[in-house]
Structure formats: C-alpha cells, structure tokens
Amino acid sequence: MERRLNTRQKAVTRVYLRVPSGPLRRCKTANLSPAGVFVEADGLDLPRGQLVDLIFVLGLQPVIKIKRRKAIVAHISRRGAGMTIDSPEHFKFAAGSSIRKDRRLS
C-alpha cells in the first residue's frame, strides 16, 4: 500500500547530509518529491525519527544553486535512508489531507 502523499521521481543529484553538530557527509539522491527524498549512502547509522540537515547542490557550471532543507529519517536500508522533508508547506498539505479523509469516513 502506497503511503506517500506525493509520487517520487527518479532524481540523481548531489546532497550533503549532516546530523546536527556533526560533520557533513557527501551522498546522492535516488528519488525525490516535494515531501520526501531517498538518500543513497553506505553505512548510514541514523535512527528513525532523527532530524538531519540536507544541502542539495543543483545546477551546472558556472551557476550552482544550493537548497537547504531539514528532514526526518523515515526508514533505513542497506542502500541509504528515506526521509520526509520538513517544510511548513508539506505539513499544511498533510494536515489538510487528513481532515478530508476524516470527513469521507464519517
């Protein structure tokens, strides 16, 4: 059963991951949506629910864009970690979705 709010698209880009007060770790994304991302890296030893900082490096030379987001680890596998992107827009959408679902069930 699909539990995602948004469909993830295949997207391979460089991303740096940091646990608060920890070192940066260079990784890459496997897929991405407005509400989540799968980060590929060997040996990610992160507990579920851990808050992390993600720094996305986008674009080609000579212009590079950097996007910073907070994320929460949703699941860990041998390949990497699935994360929910922590953004006000995502939570507003999620809250609106659950309200609509509750009305349909009543």
**Res 87 pLDDT > 70:** no
Q: What is the CATH number of domain 9-105?
A: 2.40.10.220
Query: Which residues have CB under 8 Å from 44's CB, separation 6+?
Result: 17, 76, 80, 81
What's residue 13's pLDDT?
83
**pLDDT tens digits along 4-60:** 556 666 778 889 999 988 899 999 999 888 888 999 998 888 999 999 999 988 876
Query: Which residues have CB under 8 Å from 104's CB, separation 6+?
Result: none
Domain ranges of the chain: 9-105
**pLDDT average, residue stretch 59-88:** 86
